[in-house]
Amino acid sequence: MSRSPRPVRVRRFAAGLLDATITLLLALAPAALVPGVLKGRMFGLGLLLGAAYLLLRDAIPYAEWGARSLGKRWIGIRPYAVSGEPLTWRLSMRRNATVAGAATVWAVLYLIGGYKGIPFGEFVLGAAGIVILFEAVLVAIDPAARRLGDRWAKTRVIEARH
């Protein structure tokens, strides 16, 4: 197991992209089932499902996954609590609140009819995107490759065998 944050940094980005893809697929699936005008709202409903995945992804209760998201499992990393306690639903929600919150904002915008129909919709959409970008930048520049969610939940991400 490597203690250097550099390999973990690259793997975290890869796992994040995989988890974002899962979130997008969850958002697109309901939208693909309905015609025309309802697609945007169904996309919003799917984004809510994706936000729930993002929020709870690090406490998936399958023992062989080792309390980690699908992306982390596939890439070979896992989060752990610095205190040594197991990663619980509560810790997963704390460490993923920022990214899940941003996805929830996007979902609500689509559920109420799209971001173009509300005042400052593009600003709100962009602000939510900046939150996710900020988290990614923290992983890139923090000496221990920790993002804000890791600090709040007192967790780290390490290399792990599948």
pLDDT digits (tens, 9 = 90+) for 113-148: 776 667 787 888 889 999 999 999 999 999 999 999
Q: If you ran DSSP here, which 8-state letter would residue 155 be given?
A: E
- pTM of the predicted model over 0.75: yes
Q: How far apart are CA 158 and CA 162, in angstroms?
A: 12
pLDDT of residue 1: 45
Q: How far apart are CA 76 and CA 20, in angstroms?
A: 17
Rounded to an integer, what is the distance from CA 136 to the centroid of its chain? 11
Give residue 152's domain range.
5-159
Q: C-alpha angle 152/157/159, rounded to 5°?
A: 175
State how many domains the chain has.
1
Q: How far apart are CA 6 and CA 147, in angstroms?
A: 14
